[in-house]
């Protein structure tokens, strides 16, 4: 599933095409992709046609495009995008060849760039688009999501204190989007490798300094991934132009089971964890004492 860097790359790519653009037409090709919208496809289309979109925003893995109000007041609704497992937001010129698995098509008129199409493609149909009300500037379906580590408002010291109150393993805590958002399996494994922490280490055992160092490693990993366009393992993870990110070539832990640890040379292991997998170095990231 796309994590913060992949979603941020999409947000940045959409920005110049949608900011200030008027929605000229909307076509829902698969009703399943508007299941999160309170209404049928016709209602979804009516909620957008003739409206003006403003600068896209993101929190964690959530991406949305506020819809301007006619009275020029603060937006009260937004086009919320759930990318799910395979969702893509693609920018195309009008009349461009069809993209596979396109579920929704928006035709926009942007004052500086002219006519452009935004196509939502989704092979596995776990994602979708919806027009949702904004609550304090955030779509209602994302209001429970915590601020992410690359946000200027992120308070690392406060999050570290909250992290240390958790009795669960540190990886499970990092994946809790109500504590810190935007981190998924890939970047959790990478940050834990940098911090030399086993994924099952109880978060409550961390000192404040160790917790802050871990959050610093999370931020560093996310920043590196952003600089390289996110992580792509197949054609499903692409930016708005259909191009893959290449941070996968810089991974130190995730997906490296059976390969030497980049730090010490010990063979990395892949272990079952919470219906997923965790990747670690047995030497650098030893299992904590007292844990089975």
Which residues in 246-269 are b (16+ Cβ under 10 Å) and which e? Answer: ebbeebbbbebeeeebeeeeeebb
Q: How many Å apart are CA 227 and CA 229, to the nearest integer?
A: 6
Binding site annotation covers 124? yes
Asked about 2 being catalytic, the answer comes back as yes
Asked about 61 being catalytic, the answer comes back as yes
Binding site annotation covers 101? yes
Q: Which of 58, 59, 61, 164 is catalytic?
A: 61
Asked about 16 being catalytic, the answer comes back as no
Q: Which of 76, 161, 165, 276 is catalytic?
A: 276
> Beta partners for 66?
78
Q: Which of 2, 5, 41, 149 is catalytic?
A: 2
Binding site annotation covers 166? yes
Asked about 204 being catalytic, the answer comes back as no
Binding residues for DNA: 101, 124, 166
Binding residues: 101, 124, 166
Residues belonging to the active site: 2-3, 61, 276
């Amino acid at each position: 599933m796309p994590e913060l860097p992949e979603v941020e790359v999409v947000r940045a790519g959409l920005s110049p095409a949608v900011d200030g653009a008027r929605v000229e037409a909307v076509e829902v090709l698969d009703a399943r992709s508007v299941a999160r919208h309170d209404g049928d496809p016709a209602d979804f289309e009516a909620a957008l046609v003739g409206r003006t979109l403003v600068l896209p925003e993101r929190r964690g893995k959530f991406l949305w495009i506020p819809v301007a109000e006619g009275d020029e007041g603060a937006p009260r609704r937004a086009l919320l995008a759930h990318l799910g497992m395979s969702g893509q937001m693609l920018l195309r010129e009008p009349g461009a060849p069809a993209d596979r698995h396109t579920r929704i098509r928006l035709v926009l008129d942007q004052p500086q760039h002219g006519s452009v199409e935004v196509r939502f493609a989704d092979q596995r149909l776990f994602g979708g688009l919806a027009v949702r009300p904004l609550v304090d500037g955030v779509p209602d379906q994302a209001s429970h999501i915590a601020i992410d580590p690359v946000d200027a408002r992120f308070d690392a010291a406060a999050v570290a204190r909250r992290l240390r109150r958790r009795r669960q393993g540190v990886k499970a805590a990092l994946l809790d989007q109500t504590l810190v958002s935007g981190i998924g399996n890939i970047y959790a494994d990478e940050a834990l490798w940098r911090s030399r922490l086993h994924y099952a280490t109880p978060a409550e055992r961390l000192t404040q300094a160790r917790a802050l160092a871990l959050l610093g490693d999370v931020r560093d990993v996310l920043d590196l991934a952003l600089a390289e366009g996110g992580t792509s393992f197949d054609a499903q993870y692409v930016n708005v132009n259909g191009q893959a990110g290449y941070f996968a070539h810089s991974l130190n832990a995730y997906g490296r089971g059976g390969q030497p640890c980049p730090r010490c040379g010990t063979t990395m292991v892949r272990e079952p964890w919470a219906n997923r997998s965790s990747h670690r170095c047995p030497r650098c990231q030893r299992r904590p004492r007292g844990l089975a």
